[in-house]
Amino acid sequence: MPASGTLLVPLYPDQAVTIGFVIEDDRFDGGSNSVEIQRMIHADQVAAVLLAAGQSNRFETGDKLLVDLDGQPLVLHAAKRIMELKPGRKIAVCSVAVGVLLEPLGFEVIINANAGQGMATSLACGIEGAARGDCDAALIILGDMPFVTVRHLRSLLTQWDVEDAPVVGSVTGGVPMPPALFARSLFGRLCEGAGDRGARGLLASAELVSAPAEELADIDTIDDLHRFRSSRGADPETYPALPGNCAP
């Protein structure tokens, strides 16, 4: 029976041309000889939302997003991967101090006055910001995950489909997690709250893209920071001292 559809032909990492096709062949049965259609969303159709307003409670002192990692504030690692992706919009939900770093980089800065009530409030702020534009999906990225690659972010976009895969998340060790891509139709649910009613519940049934554990690692504690610095061959003496009694 005849079959039809579209093919996305990549031109550049973030651009593709959609080409329609029709197969006039009665032997086409949709089985093992079917043409596989690639699913994806263009980066310029996405609002990237960087969540960077956490209270750093487990870090013991100071804002972990401002500490030095490889010669720059930790939060800039994730921010620069977003910039490499070239999404339609770049939104940061953050503190005033982090906003000072990100606004010159083209981020729309949203200050979450209720950040102390948990990440769900920052997610809601970011999604509400994304909803004010015309994006088709929002890509949620955490500011304390400095090792995520732009290649992984692009792979999330490649697997997204508005009907068949409206949520695409990351996974390592069988655990779904951000970065994650959510269709616009789910923005309301993302703003409803934490747990099973929010992003966590949606990720439980998401299309998942695997990545190495070290790529999806986050920095929650001072010990995490020291361990990652050491693993990258850093000399503790070259880093600025942390506040209080937490210097390496």
Query: What's residue 141's pLDDT?
Result: 98
CA separation for the pair 203, 169 (Å, rounded): 6
Give the number of other Cβ atoms within 10 Å of residue 221's Cβ. Answer: 14
6-10, Cβ contacts within 8 angstroms, sequence gap of 24 or more: 6/37, 7/35, 7/37, 7/38, 8/38, 8/40
Query: What's residue 164's pLDDT?
Result: 94
Query: What's residue 206's pLDDT?
Result: 96
CA-wise closest residue to 69 among 243, 232, 179, 248:
232
- CATH number for the region 43-210 comes to 3.90.550.10
Query: What's residue 61's pLDDT?
Result: 61
Q: What is the DSSP-derived secondary structure letter of residue 119?
A: H
- Beta strands at 167-172 and 207-210: parallel, antiparallel or unpaired: parallel
Query: What's residue 40's pLDDT?
Result: 86
Q: Which residues contact 114 (CB under 8 A, 6 or more apart)?
A: 121
- Domain ranges in the chain with CATH number 3.90.550.10: 43-210
Interior angle at CA 41, CA 38 and CA 46, nearest 5 = 165
The H or E element spanning position 167 is strand 167-172
Q: pLDDT tens for the chain, 248 residues: list them.
A: 444 455 554 544 555 544 444 444 443 344 444 444 447 899 999 999 999 997 555 555 668 899 888 889 999 999 999 999 999 999 999 999 999 999 999 999 999 988 888 889 999 999 999 999 999 999 999 999 999 999 999 999 999 999 999 999 999 999 999 999 999 999 999 988 665 568 889 999 999 999 999 999 988 877 777 777 776 655 554 444 444 333 33
Query: What's residue 87's pLDDT?
Result: 99
Query: What's residue 62's pLDDT?
Result: 67
Query: What's residue 245's pLDDT?
Result: 30
CA separation for the pair 10, 37 (Å, rounded): 13
- Tell me the helices (H) and strands (E) count for the chain, helix number first: 7, 11
CA separation for the pair 41, 157 (Å, rounded): 5
Query: What's residue 233's pLDDT?
Result: 57
